[in-house]
Amino acid sequence: MDKKIMIVDDAAFMRMTIKNCLSKAGYANLIEAGDGQQAVDAYQNEKPDLVIMDITMPNLDGIQALQAIKATDPNARVVMCSAMGQESMVVDAIHLGALDFIVKPFKPDRILQTVGKILG
Domains, the chain, in order of start with CATH, read: 4-119 (3.40.50.2300)
pLDDT value of residue 89:
84
Q: For helices 62-72 and 87-95, what crossing angle results, to 10°?
A: 0
Does the structure show a pLDDT above 80 at 87?
A: no
Which ranges in 1-120 belong to alpha helices (H)? 12-24, 36-46, 62-72, 87-95, 108-119
- Asked whether residue 86 carries a pLDDT value surpassing 80, the answer given is no
Give pLDDT tens digits for 22-68: 999 999 999 999 999 999 999 999 999 999 999 999 999 999 999 99
User: What DSSP state is assigned to residue 57?
Assistant: -
Q: What is the pLDDT of residue 19?
A: 97
Give the predicted TM-score (pTM) of the model: 0.94
Residue 85 region, left (φ>0) first, then alpha (ψ -120 to 50), else beta?
A: left
